[in-house]
Structure 1
Amino acid sequence: MARLIPTAQRRILSSSSSLIHRLPPQSHHCCPSIQSQNATSTPLFHCRPYSTHEFTKSPVQNYILRILRNEIEYQAEYAPPHQPETKFNSFTVQDRPGEQWMTMSGISGDNEDIKIEVTMFDGFVTVPRVGEDASGHDVCLHISVLVDIYKGDDGSNALEFVCSAWPNSLEIQKVYILSQDKKQARPYMGPNFRSMDGKLQKMLREFLEARGVNNELSRFLHEYMMNKDRIELVRWLGIVKSFVEK
């Protein structure tokens, strides 16, 4: 799978920072909400005995540390992340701590290996609010998904689908032949999916759906990434706090 990661990162430019924390809370209305399940409460930091070392820090350092501790406590109380899922239907889910990606893998009944690379939230669109008294717009978050399907034992070529995962739907954007032939400097990348014949579009969607890559997967990914986004934020806050404390 490692050989696919550079390819995925060349084709999809994910956000360098967590998108969800830059949006107002009301903007998440159209996305599935995350509730902590089976979350265990553990102390995020411990009281330390009095030390004169604390007085060697500058006022700025102490101020930063106070803000970081408050933010960590707030995140833990507001919506503590739960342990990431490791299975979804027939797929094995592998988190990549500290990265903006997660990986899924599975095997279909046709002797196919399926590898899926998924970004954290990397975009959004605004949509009108619904309802009689609704006004204004909501934000729907976007996730980029790469699906590689290998046939047979040689694994020489793969059919790669570049998809967009929205809160309740999965859309195909592009279909490639992913060749392991290193001699091809500029391989043909295929037509835009929406420019294909309608019947071919329908068959390719059904091809993915038969392998479990469907709207249900899209909903799972949004729930998973909501949780991962919070995990990565708390991890980042802890790393920064440890650095400032040194």
Structure 2
Amino acid sequence: MIMARFIRAVQRTLRLPPLQRSSKTLIHGLQLPSLQSHNATSKFIFQTRSYQNSFEILKSPFESNVLRILRNEIEYLTEDGPPNQPPRIFNSFTVEDHPGQQWVTLRSKFREKEDIKIDVTMFDGCIFIPKLDDDFNENDITGQELRPHISLLVDISKGEDCDMLEFVCSAWPDSLEIQKVFIYRHGRLLPRPWLGPGFKSLDYKLQNALCEFLEERGVNDELSVFLHEYMMNKDRTELIQWLRNVKSFVEK
């Protein structure tokens, strides 16, 4: 009698159809899930997993194609030649990368008084020069050598309140060239300052003296070679991150 009243109480509480309220569905007072509810749960889990694994099905054909191409590009770039961890030191310089930006900063000290700061762009141009070949054709790019260009702004100061000597330089794959030299007047901003003559128009001896001035401070051909290697790596790093950002946007 006690068991019968207990079963009826459980039936009223769960409000199940008569077929599912038999004592066969009870084991020690616990109701077993029906086959129908088990199948429904399994179907839901399968559908959820299928959606997670192939959510692109809900995308338009154009979006799915973009995502496929982006994934292939990212996979190719990361497996074929993955970027290296950028160095933070080069000779006397510390290197400050700026992720997502088109420049880096190098800092150094020379002796006790001078602070050197170099702002360096990523590749901002190139030239083609002829290869040493008797069959050279100036209209045939394949017969020419590509020389990418990097711009440098070298600031040399002797204290926070002092004027700065600035060099505008071009860094080629194997050499460094000075383009301009001028004094940046601290606290005196002129609307149209005169930046001095073109470097190539200076007396040849003065050109050599200024080149030696920079070389003594580590701004030389060796630095130019390092910067080209560094920017090649940064260019690949930024490209991969850009592809990932575009992919993330399309996936939303």
Match in the other structure for 1:69: 71
The amino acid across from 1:77 in the alignment is: E
Q: Matches of 1:206 and 1:165 in 2, distance apart?
A: 16
Report the structure, 1 or 2, having the larger helix content.
2
Match in the other structure for 2:45: none
Question: Are residues 1:116 and 2:118 paired?
Answer: yes
Q: Matches of 1:192 and 1:132 in 2, distance apart?
A: 35
Match in the other structure for 1:144: 151
Give the superposition deviation at 1:234: 0.2
User: Aligned to 2:100, what secondary structure does the other structure show?
Assistant: coil
CA root-mean-square deviation: 1.9
Give the superposition deviation at 1:183: 4.4
Q: Matches of 2:182 and 2:85 in 1, distance apart?
A: 34
User: Aligned to 1:186, what secondary structure does the other structure show?
Assistant: coil
Q: Matches of 1:133 and 1:49 in 2, distance apart?
A: 63
Q: Matches of 2:82 and 2:213 in 1, distance apart?
A: 38
Aligned partner of 2:239 among 222, 233, 236: 233
Match in the other structure for 1:29: none
Q: Matches of 2:73 and 2:56 in 1, distance apart?
A: 20
Match in the other structure for 1:50: 50
Q: Matches of 2:150 and 2:64 in 1, distance apart?
A: 38
Bigger RCO (CA 8 Å, 6+ sep) = 1
Q: Matches of 2:119 and 2:103 in 1, distance apart?
A: 7
User: Aligned to 2:50, what secondary structure does the other structure show?
Assistant: coil
Give the superposition deviation at 1:110: 4.7
Match in the other structure for 1:173: 179
- Cα deviation, 1:139-158, whole Å, max 9, x if unaligned, reads 1111001100001x334311
Aligned partner of 1:88 among 71, 83, 90: 90
The amino acid across from 1:121 in the alignment is: F
Match in the other structure for 1:99: 101
The amino acid across from 1:168 in the alignment is: D
- Cα deviation, 1:46-102, whole Å, max 9, x if unaligned, reads xx9532743321111110000000000111122110111100000000111001101
Closer, same or farther: CA 80–119 of 1 in aligned 2, 3 Å: same
Give the superposition deviation at 1:130: 3.3
Q: Matches of 1:183 and 1:97 in 2, distance apart?
A: 30
Q: Matches of 2:84 and 2:135 in 1, distance apart?
A: 35
Could you tell me which runs of 5 or more consecutive residues in structure 2 were left unpaired when the two chains were aligned: 1-47, 137-141
TM value normalised by structure 1: 0.76
Q: Which runs of 4+ in 1 moved over 4 A?
A: 131-135
Aligned partner of 2:195 among 189, 195, 199: 189
Aligned residues: 198
User: Aligned to 1:146, what secondary structure does the other structure show?
Assistant: strand
Give the superposition deviation at 1:133: 8.6
Could you tell me which runs of 5 or more consecutive residues in structure 1 were left unpaired when the two chains were aligned: 1-47
Identical pairs, percent? 58
Q: Matches of 1:73 and 1:211 in 2, distance apart?
A: 42
Match in the other structure for 1:198: 204
